[in-house]
Chains A and B, each alone.
Chain A
Amino acid sequence: MEKLKAFFGYAMAVLAFPLIVVMIMAGVTGLGDVFVEATGLQTAAKFTGGEVVRTVGHGAYETRVHRMVFDALFWERSEGFIQVAWAPLDALPARIDEEIDADGDGQADFRVEVDTANKESTLTPYASWVLDLEGTYRLNDTLAVRVRLRNPSR
């Protein structure tokens, strides 16, 4: 038994070196991407804005309405936000004035006006659960606003 334990001990100790080499090399060469894709991991919607659920075309540019984000570990939060983005940046007009259907019921829930050059926005809520404007941001190739919401299902 002692000899068996020692054998496994040495075997594990010897294997520790190739293990760390393989894991580091896998990470450095991008094989970790396979691991991430296999596990289905995604960055939290709190940071990405969540998935785009509707796209509205305006010729040269388009409006991307993301899903409402109330994400939490086991339940939905009472407050969250929705991200609306316009892209591509170089095709945006000087001023955007658009009514947005946040919950997908076919009715506009708020109106947002954006000065695209200065990143200044104003919000006009239509629904009682639309709270206020969190901010206007230039994110990669889009101009986006985040609007704070109260969870309509709670």
Chain B
Amino acid sequence: MTTETQPSDQAKVQSPRMAVWKALLLCLPILLLSALIPLLSLQSGDPLMIISGLAVWILVNVFFVLMLITGKTHRYRSVLFIMIAIALPLDFIPWMFETYGSMLLTDETIYSGGASFCPLTMPMVIVPALVKRVVIFPGTLVGTGTHGIFSMMALLWLGVSLSIGRGWCSWGCFYGGWDEFFSRLRKKPLIKHKQIDRRWIYLPFGILLAIVLISALTYEPVYCAWLCPFKLVTEFQAPATTLAIIQIAIFILLFIGLVIVLPLLTRRRIQCGLFCPFGAMQSFFNKINIFGVRIDPEKCSRCEKCIRECPTFSLNEASLDSGKPLMTCTRCAHCIDNCPQGAITYRIKGTSLKASPTVARVLYLYPAYFLMAFIGGATIMNGLQRLLMLITTGSMLH
């Protein structure tokens, strides 16, 4: 006999009015902290930014209340996650044009420290930073700019990694939404999960090891230079040399293959699950992170729906036996929301199996959703403001 109930079950047994009040009360911390978004927009004095800030503040809080009322996590997370990914280039590319005249990184931009620091660079930066106190990235180390300052990104990454581990990949990543968007377009996969060799899940760890070693040896962030598919939606090396043209061709092909075509065919986040070395590194933080996901063996009917549908290949038959997903789990809650038996829940490590999954879920949602609402919300706000500029002035540039 177990006292555990699914979050959705709990919502059902409460009266609707009670559930709404409880959700509003639980929403207060997010409501207050995310109010910084419209407050920051007020500072700009730009009416379009203020409208965008208010709209985003309302949006993220409505979504959080809906998460709490319905007990569903993935549905609302996914929409915001995709919005963040689409909003980033809407703001970043016009900003590149305003600052550098194009989205191309010339040698002059690079040698002037003009590249924006991206969290995906972190695995390559760590070894030289520890050994030689050198950051092997041509960006700005200190300051309070809005676009990719190292000091800001380093603290953000550290805070997120310690708080929610690989939750970054489903709650904070600026790019993962592209993958998620294309993986959700088709209702059924053309390539079934049984047709995908499970050994591919080790590829990101291989890439991680390779880029850490090669970057340390060459003193260059090799993943950024050669393999990052998301260059297409941010900034990239000017095609001034044959080498640069080859690099551009590679990341265009990777974007089309890993972010568009394969997610469409498989309904999985292929770039995130089978390629991204940053995600592989974050998997290790899952080991030291207090939050987890658990599968109740008493409730599990072994229908394997979760294995078939996990976007990042983080569940297999062994997971059902062990009662937990693989270390690559991004805590996206897809399996939690879709388990027909309600056997999968968020959990806090160290607590008993009878501990309330609702408490674990809420305690996980606070840091994860704050990340999404504040950093992601600011990204959506900036992207929305550019769109409003386009509509009202015909240009996305200031």
Give A72 to B216 CA distance when docked, in angstroms: 8
Stretch from B61-69, B73-81, B107-115, B267-275 that touches the partner: B107-115
Stretch from A15-23, A52-60, A86-94, A100-108 that touches the partner: A15-23
Interfacial chain A residues near B47, Cβ < 8 Å = none
B290→A13 contact, CB < 8 A = yes
A10-B351, A17-B366 are known contacts. Are A42 and B151 too (CB-CB below 8 A)?
no
Nearest CB to that of B363 among chain A residues?
A: A13
Which positions 34-86 of chain A face chain B at CB distance < 8 Å? 35-37, 39-49, 71-74
Interfacial chain A residues near B162, Cβ < 8 Å = 16, 19, 23
Give the distance to chain A from B14, nearest Cβ to Cβ, in Å. Answer: 23
Which of A13, A24, A33, A135 is the one whose CB lies under 8 Å from B374? A24
Which of B111, B151, B364 is the one whose CB lies under 8 Å from A49? B111
Stretch from A110-118, A120-128, A138-146 that touches the partner: A138-146
Give A37 to B154 CA distance when docked, in angstroms: 13
Nearest CB to that of B375 among chain A residues?
A: A24
Indicate the size class of the contact surface on chain B: 35 or more
A32→B367 contact, CB < 8 A = no
B133 located at the interface, meaning its Cβ lies under 8 Å from any Cβ of chain A in the complex: yes
B111→A144 contact, CB < 8 A = yes
A20→B113 contact, CB < 8 A = no
Give the distance to chain A from B339, nearest Cβ to Cβ, in Å. Answer: 22
Interfacial chain B residues near A6, Cβ < 8 Å = 350-352, 355
Q: Which residue among A17, A35, A43 has the maximum number of chain B CB atoms within 10 Å of its CB?
A: A17
A46→B136 contact, CB < 8 A = yes
B348→A43 contact, CB < 8 A = no
Q: Main SS of the interface on chain B? A: helix
A40→B133 contact, CB < 8 A = yes
A9→B351 contact, CB < 8 A = yes
Give A144 to B159 CA distance when docked, in angstroms: 39
Q: Which residue among A14, A32, A36, A144 has the maximum number of chain B CB atoms within 10 Å of its CB?
A: A32
B226 located at the interface, meaning its Cβ lies under 8 Å from any Cβ of chain A in the complex: no
A-B pairs with CB below 8 Å: how many?
169
B116 located at the interface, meaning its Cβ lies under 8 Å from any Cβ of chain A in the complex: no
B151→A24 contact, CB < 8 A = no
Give A82 to B316 CA distance when docked, in angstroms: 54
Give A83 to B123 CA distance when docked, in angstroms: 28
A33-B142, A43-B113 are known contacts. Are A20 and B134 too (CB-CB below 8 A)?
no
B155→A16 contact, CB < 8 A = no
B350→A16 contact, CB < 8 A = no
Stretch from B124-132, B191-199, B203-211, B318-326 that touches the partner: B124-132
Nearest CB to that of B127 among chain A residues?
A: A73
Which positions 1-41 of chain B face chain A at CB distance < 8 Å? 29, 33
Which of A5, A17, A31 is the one whose CB lies under 8 Å from B370? A17
A20→B154 contact, CB < 8 A = no
Give A81 to B363 CA distance when docked, in angstroms: 53
Give A8 to B348 CA distance when docked, in angstroms: 10
Which of A16, A17, A139 is the one whose CB lies under 8 Å from B29? A17
A41→B133 contact, CB < 8 A = yes
A20-B371, A40-B133 are known contacts. Are A32 and B219 too (CB-CB below 8 A)?
no
Give A23 to B331 CA distance when docked, in angstroms: 21
State the B residues within 8 Å of A (CB).
29, 33, 107-108, 110-113, 127-129, 131-139, 141-144, 149-156, 158-160, 162-164, 216-217, 219-220, 290-291, 348-352, 355, 360, 363-364, 366-367, 370-371, 374-375
List 5 extra interface pairs beyond A23-B160, A31-B155, A36-B150, CB under 8 A: A13-B290, A16-B290, A20-B370, A24-B375, A27-B156
